[in-house]
């Protein structure tokens, strides 16, 4: 499965950089394939392992404020892997084909 999520503390001031860095550090240390962009971090793996990482990242962000906002989107496709890059590669190929 692919999970794209965004997590941020509420009530912690305007900048959430340190909190987001704590969350991304947990994602990267998980060893799961992942990508972070300006809005979301996406990771790929099995249900239990992905949700464990999301939970730990959310808990880390929670230490920066008294409330946490979590936005999560999942693409659950059993039997598939490599979709973190595969989906993008298929779109790029379609664009190249004109």
Kindly report, residue by residue over 21-60, the tens digit of the pLDDT: 999 999 999 999 999 999 999 999 999 999 999 999 999 9
pTM for the structure as a whole: 0.90
Structurally, how many domains does the chain consist of? 1
Rounded Cα–Cα distance for residues 80 and 2 (Å): 10
CATH number at residue 92: 3.30.70.930
Largest CA distance in the chain: 50
3-state secondary structure of 63: coil
The owner of tokens 């969350």 is 23
pLDDT band at 97 (very low <50, low <70, confident <90, very high): confident
Which domain does 64 fall in, by range?
2-96
């Amino acid at each position: 499965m692919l999970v794209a999520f965004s997590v941020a503390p509420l009530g912690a001031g305007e900048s959430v950089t340190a909190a987001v860095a704590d969350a991304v550090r947990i994602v990267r240390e998980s060893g799961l394939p992942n990508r972070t962009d300006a809005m979301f971090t996406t990771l790929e793996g099995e249900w239990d392992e992905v949700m464990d990482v999301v939970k730990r990242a959310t808990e880390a962000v929670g230490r920066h404020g008294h409330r946490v906002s979590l936005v999560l989107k999942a693409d659950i496709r059993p039997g598939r892997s490599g979709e973190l890059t595969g989906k993008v590669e298929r779109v790029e190929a379609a664009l190249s084909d004109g």
